Amino acid sequence: MTTSNAPDLQIEGLTDLPVSDCHAIEKTLTALLAGFSTRNADQLAGVYADDADWVNAFGSVKRGPTEIVEYLRGLFADANFEAGRLVAPPQSRLRRLSDDIVLVSTRLEIRDQGLVGGGVIARRDNHSLRALQRQHDKSWKIVSEMYMDARSDLSYAGHS
């Protein structure tokens, strides 16, 4: 997934907001995307609110920007994570909940991420949900972020 340039940020629904909010939200999400794409945790400074919570697809739970960014710094340096390759640009959709809160859902596909002890995850169909909130300074920061992977095994016969 490493690239010298982050993929273009494309978010369905972003332009439905006032221009100043669009720019502020885009700034936060562009920094997030750039940090992940270039594996540079320093680019995540200012992305997370002071009381943010974060849960990844493997169940790791972190709270606050310092804890989140330090975890991501370690993750970005990990060879197993580094081995993963983004198949296509992320697909995102914004949903406005109020004047001060939006949700951004994103789907992306990753191939060949390494596993501890050997082997690879051939394909990760990854979904994330972020709640962003307008701050007092008019910036928008992530207050909650959760990742999950779609699974192919079934526990419910009616699953589609």
Q: What's the angle, vertex CA 41, arms to CA 139 and CA 16, rounded to 5? A: 35
pTM value is 0.88
**DSSP state letters, 25-92:** HHHHHHHHHHHHHHT-GGGGTTTEEEEEEEE-TT--EEEHHHHHHHHHHHHHH-HHHHH-EE-S--EE
According to DSSP, residue 6 is labeled P
Instruction: Give 68-125 pLDDT, tens digit per residue.
Output: 999 999 999 999 999 999 898 889 999 999 999 999 999 999 999 999 999 999 899 9
What's the domain count of the chain? 1
Q: Which domain holds residue 74?
A: 11-149
Rounded Cα–Cα distance for residues 31 and 157 (Å): 41
CATH number at residue 69: 3.10.450.50
Q: Is the pLDDT at 156 greater than 70, yes or no? A: yes
Decide if 157 is inside a domain.
Answer: no
Decide if 159 is inside a domain.
Answer: no
